Amino acid sequence: MLSKEQNEFVTRTGPGTAMGNLFRCYWLPALLAEELPENDCPPVRVKILSERLIAFRDSEGRLGLIDEFCPHRGASLWFGRNEECGLRCPYHGWKFDFTGQCVDVPSEAVESGYAKKIKLTSYPLVERGGVLWTYMGPPERQPALPEFEFCVVPREQSYISKRIQECNWLQAMEGGIDSSHVSWLHRGNVNSDPLFKGAGGNKYNFGDLAPVFEVVESAGGLFIGARRNAEDNQYYWRITPWVMPCFTAVPPRGDYPMHGHFWVPVDDENCYAWSYDYHPVRALTADERANMKKGYGVHSANIPGTYRPVANKDNDYLMDREAQRSGAEYSGIKGIAIQDGSLQESMGPIIDRTKENLVGCDNGIIMARHRLMRAAKALAEKGTLPPGVDTEHHKIRQAALLLPRDVAYQKGAAEALKQKRGKPQVSV
């Protein structure tokens, strides 16, 4: 349980907030590369950390992420003409390059130098692994580009999607590090989803509905170990890494692709759930990729032309009470992503954590909250860079494995939790 003040502290990410300053230490996913597919294509609205921005790709392929609003009279540059290495406001013709620098004010003489005095807020935008990443912090503290495995494997080995989630980023992220709900909320999907079914470890999720959690700090965040009973005096371990502030990696199943999420604040009451799949040693099959596009696994089927799920709060997530009653769909809602999103959104835009009653399986969530708050305070008071900025902290993996009961997972899974290029995942 958090106090009201702590809950405010950890959930607010707008400009000038302590948690917002923390987020601005990292490269964050801003767009899919496919949203800016070619030079001089239409600009795209981007809202991130409560800042309204415009992204565009100029005539030479350079990527820009600049303030959405023209500094002349405040018109949105989404209406702008993307032409001749800049974005021109159609209202009075002011033009801006990919750095936000004004390069033309038609009503003013070039000799006046007026255009040179006008510059919009702008942030770097870099393509890596099918994602356009931005860094919104002080330029002098800009870190190296992300080294998460999904964004450095060959593109044929990965698939990335995103969906809007209508709640605060933290309650969404907390679902991503909660392994105990899989045996309940997703119980109908683990054995039927084409990206999960038939994996050897599935039986342990349902053979032991009361996992024991052991959570340890890692250099970049946490390792959250969920232990279930298995045969031959063994435990089945599912180990979820969390890298600050919002990266989660879901333990694998069999030889299926590995997956996970980023939970990136749009504003304080909405976030983007970025979902990735990748396989470390092979290309994704045509069937795997097709099923991801259909909304299986951790992905969602979205309304065409948007990133809002087809099943959303306006249609009660297409809840099927008969399927729920019969057991055909335990929650009554289809799809792992929407099952998660529906319950997280049902908590309200920002959950009141003073009313919670937490138990042992919530230890990972408790530790994540406190680590976030400690890091934000250390940044504010001492200028200390938080965990997860260092790219060495990205070089981790999730794992699922059987270990003898007398072997601690920190020891028995140590090698399995390291990113190793060209080596398969450790899975059951």
**SS3 assignment, position 61:** coil
How large is the average pLDDT for residues 381-397? 98
Name the residue among 35, 300, 297, 53 with its Cα closest to residue 165.
300
- Calculate what percentage of the chain has a pLDDT beyond 70: 100
Q: Dihedral of CA 146/296/44/52: which sign?
A: negative
Residue with tokens 């119980």: 187
Q: What is the mean pLDDT of residues 339-345?
A: 97
- Compute CA distances 270 → 307, 366, 370, whole Å: 13, 22, 22
**179 is written with which tokens?**
């392994």
Given a cut of 80, whether residue 179 has pLDDT beyond it is no
pLDDT tens-digit series, residues 125-173: 999 999 999 999 999 999 999 999 999 999 999 999 999 999 999 999 9
Give the pLDDT of residue 188. 78
Kindly report, residue by residue over 92-133, the tens digit of the pLDDT: 999 999 999 999 999 999 999 999 999 999 999 999 999 999
pLDDT at residue 106 in the model: 97
CA atoms within 13 A on the CB side of 75: 16
Left, alpha or beta for 7 (phi > 0: left; psi -120 to 50: alpha)?
alpha
Beta bridge partners of residue 276, listed in sequence order:
160, 260
Enter the pTM of the model: 0.96
7 forms beta bridges with none
Answer whether 298's CB lies under 8 Å from 336's CB.
yes
Across 145-149, 200-204, 410-414, least confident range: 200-204
Residue 84 per-residue DSSP state: S
Section 255-275 average pLDDT: 98
pLDDT tens digits, 8-53 = 999 999 999 999 999 999 999 999 999 999 999 999 999 999 999 9
Task: Give Cα separations from 159 to 82, 128, 290 (angstroms).
Answer: 29, 13, 10
Q: Is the pLDDT of residue 1 over 90?
A: no
Contacts of 386 (CB under 8 A, 6+ apart): 22, 25, 244, 245, 375, 376, 378, 379
Tell me the average pLDDT across 344-359. 96
pLDDT, position 327: 86
Give the residue from 351, 340, 370 showing the smallest Cα distance to 168.
351
Q: pLDDT value at position 286?
A: 98
Q: Is the CB of residue 362 less than 8 Å from the CB of residue 1?
A: no
The mean of the pLDDT values for the chain is 96
81-82, strands of its sheet edge to edge: 81-82, 87-88, 95-96, 102-104
Residue 226 β-bridge partners: 213, 238
Residue type at 404 in one-letter notation: P
Helix (H) or strand (E) holding 340: helix 336-346
∠ CA 7-9-13, rounded to 5°: 115
Q: What is the mean pLDDT of the segment spanning 374-390? A: 98
Q: How far is CA 211 from the centre of its chain?
A: 25
Closest CA to 122 of 51, 41, 73: 51
pLDDT at 273 over 90: yes
CA quadruple 82, 84, 87, 91: dihedral positive or negative? negative
